[in-house]
Structure 1
């Protein structure tokens, strides 16, 4: 079949039950046949894969999966670890005199902690557009080198203005990493495989906390002419820049340019993800898909949950040292006691990712648990007396458990939003609100409320409760849509072809939401 040939499918209906025609001039209330071209870059490769002997195709598929898990996944994990480590470096530097050396007073450290999220916020959506148009691997590799260079420059800052400028551009450079990894995960792994793989690369946030706390602890014990907090930035920055050079050579943008695939493996890699019904990549921006996203109630729930996750993450990431100090620990101990919190993120994230690979429709439950555990910790911090230092510390260690909710909510978008423009738009919206939440989070901690910070603690508990509500509503809506489609008289059978034709999850009536 010609790649440019138009494919016709039946009219579709919007979530509200109206007759809904999708296209550049789509309006609710019209009835019209939908016609779209095969614009996905994987369409021809999928057609070629169908000509391969099924037994041989299955054999090659095992090799493809092994290469992805042993080469591409570690590349992504290390890059994501460095991205988190770069941002967390400020938290560790805070324990070794950064505020006093730069003359920060009052809530100025809160601004330093939040400013990178302004950069992230401003560049989050442009980054998603660039990722749709430009080679993903090359763009992310360049940004890795940029943020490494910015960390190397951080010790040159001598006042508030200098470090604010560097942290702003650091946030801008890092805005691409999570959306890019969501795209790569969606185009290389099946929907069943995605939660576990995404759990690994986001779980590396926990490993970054372990590594970062270890690096900071080691450098904090050095004696010499250079301050310990400066050594932290230089060390992490040099590693990031060097790794960016490596990724520039080997990190793929699509299955077609993965250096470690031969042609047959590339073809089968595309065939493997056909059941996702989301295709590989479509470079054209289709405005009707953005309109559809804005009218989709599921997107509202995704946006609300993203804002909640950002607020919690921003507060915990930047104020864990402050929180532990409020329990009575000194500078060194406040860093040492952050090491277990990394394990509390990494281990549950990987476990829940694995469970979601084998237990069907467990995503919504897992995300809710990811909010519920830190909510219990927040209530503990607010109610346990300061004399019970270890109990308070254990409650603080529960906060990184929210990583389970973060990664699986991103998995939920990757698995359940189809149509490349729609998915990119929802990704962009999700990360813009996530960044906005990361800005809000640090300002919940009011210096006047030291050491209990009860406003922040109770506010974060409320935000985590709201996150559970948004997640449950999203799950109920997707369950409802699946039931309606199951009861439909006309059952489409070409879901895979619809994915390579860039149909959205609403247009493709064969699509079923993963709960």
Structure 2
């Protein structure tokens, strides 16, 4: 913890040399903050309250300007006055009871909201696999690789929009941006119910994939904004457990829809019902969830300061919604970014296959259509339990810094699962193998926390998230084509490809560990030799990357 005490002189909050080039507008920002503060001191009570809201929400060159509707939406950076209060809080010991009270508020709103988001996110993506059980292929006259194409086109849309969609995260308010996209998920899911042929479904699936491209990066960014680096793996695990609940809920919904005797085909009801509820939830999400701690209506000024100050030991900087090209260049040169991509790719070749063909594989074991939907309930439950167990073990062993080793160990379970599916013949061992493959979801939870906790710099963090999810998209595109129509319902080649992909994933995880451990050792050595000095002001005011900030330590 910083023990240096800040003085009232404004110069005390400036970045120390040689860092001013990183934020060339800082002097102007500070003067704007001063001007606004002076105005507040001379205003009437009503004017003062309004101006204080402006100080709380808007910073930089715009602090003294009136906010139009569009500027109010787009420019929500914290003001210099607010950042100064955070710096002052960083120089003191926070009251643990106050921190606990603030965190309780955050947990009870942010975590349940993201959990529900993820339920819809996964149910939306797997609706196609349930539709395939209910004459979907027959009604749309699907032949050959048409179903494989429908599985992949979703992620082609995702891939097309991944970079531009995620770059917008550096500009638009996170919660509003996510809510709009969730609303559009639901709209285009309902639109898919109107498909009359394969061409219609291809177009609608492509557009749906575009709007879902920003989902996981948004979830990770929101988690990184509200929670400390130590808390992030647990929080990500909580909302990612919505994956398993989504699978179980999808199976239950599929079973119920299978008994509907309406005028429409069962698979059309699947798209309509899930899409409508998803869009309704998006409206609730947009109303309840703030875009940042300093804009939260349910936090007072002091609570917002505590929310940010409690993250002082993360060695992260104040998030600012702007694109920084020096961070873009650093990202391109960082080998870890490419390993994040490969991690996303190898983890999702099996996911793209099993999320779309899993129900068909189980049906090939000899189960009826409705029983297949019911068997997804224990599968989803197992996934949720594995996720919770993984975050519990990670929490208990965080001091050992062995997160990547835990990831590699759990991935071995998925390799065993695919081996049972590929090389055994009995129904029971193959079904057990299928359930074991669900362990991979626990691994991906820990992988997401590596990105959110091991990347510094607003722009670099957004691009790193984009990299892993580009890998996710490509893996999900490739995966379905390994399941050959000629091998239905066994799909042995596809299952072996999934097994090999999981084995490659283990190698990538170990490669990342090497890239984390070595810099940590080198930086510790420099500090022990006295080559570097700690500067808390730079960490508060300058948007540094993990490479620029030598105080940064990677979670390995």
TM-score by length of 1: 0.91
CA distance in 2, matches of 1:392, 1:271: 51
1:137-196: CA deviation from partner (whole Å, max 9, x where unpaired): 111111111111111212111100111111111111111111111111111100110001
Q: CA deviation at 1:350?
A: 1.7
Partner of 2:250: 212
Partner of 1:120: 158
Task: State how 1:93-492 maps to structure 2 within 5 Å.
Answer: 93-360=131-398, 361-385=401-425, 388-488=426-526, 489=529, 490-492=531-533
1:346-384: CA deviation from partner (whole Å, max 9, x where unpaired): 111122123223322132022213321111101111110
Q: 1:102 to 1:68 in 2, by over 3 A?
A: same
Q: CA deviation at 1:60?
A: 2.4
Q: 1:133 to 1:156 in 2, by over 3 A?
A: same
Q: 1:87 to 1:6 in 2, by over 3 A?
A: same
Q: CA deviation at 1:455?
A: 1.5
Determine helix, strand or coil for the equivalent of 2:17. Answer: strand
1:305-352: CA deviation from partner (whole Å, max 9, x where unpaired): 111112121111111111112212221122211211112211111221
Aligned residues of 1:419 and 1:499 also touching (Cα < 8 A)? no
**Matching of residue 48 in structure 1 with residue 85 in structure 2:** yes
Q: 1:479 to 1:43 in 2, by over 3 A?
A: farther
Partner of 1:26: none
Aligned residues of 1:482 and 1:512 also touching (Cα < 8 A)? yes
Count of matched residue positions in the alignment of Structure 1 and Structure 2: 491
Partner of 1:28: none
CA distance in 1, matches of 2:94, 2:463: 38
Aligned residues of 1:306 and 1:431 also touching (Cα < 8 A)? yes
CA distance in 2, matches of 1:422, 1:282: 12
1:195-251: CA deviation from partner (whole Å, max 9, x where unpaired): 010011111110000111001101111212122111111111111011111112122
Q: CA deviation at 1:283?
A: 2.1
Partner of 1:493: 534
Aligned match for 1:86, one of 102, 116, 124: 124
Larger Rg: 2
CA distance in 2, matches of 1:418, 1:500: 13
Aligned residues of 1:381 and 1:392 also touching (Cα < 8 A)? yes
Partner of 2:74: none
CA distance in 2, matches of 1:464, 1:264: 47
Partner of 2:30: none
Partner of 1:502: 543
RMSD: 2.1
CA distance in 1, matches of 2:79, 2:151: 42
Q: CA deviation at 1:302?
A: 1.5
CA distance in 1, matches of 2:471, 2:17: 36
Q: 1:371 to 1:44 in 2, by over 3 A?
A: farther
Aligned residues of 2:365 and 2:427 also touching (Cα < 8 A)? yes
Q: 1:496 to 1:435 in 2, by over 3 A?
A: farther
CA distance in 1, matches of 2:220, 2:536: 21
Q: CA deviation at 1:408?
A: 1.1
Q: Structure 1 residues 221-230 or 461-470, which shifts more?
A: 221-230
Aligned residues of 2:155 and 2:206 also touching (Cα < 8 A)? yes
CA distance in 1, matches of 2:537, 2:487: 56
Aligned residues of 1:310 and 1:438 also touching (Cα < 8 A)? yes
Aligned residues of 1:137 and 1:253 also touching (Cα < 8 A)? yes
Aligned residues of 2:193 and 2:268 also touching (Cα < 8 A)? yes
Q: CA deviation at 1:5?
A: 4.2
Q: 1:413 to 1:277 in 2, by over 3 A?
A: same
CA distance in 2, matches of 1:268, 1:46: 12
CA distance in 1, matches of 2:12, 2:492: 60
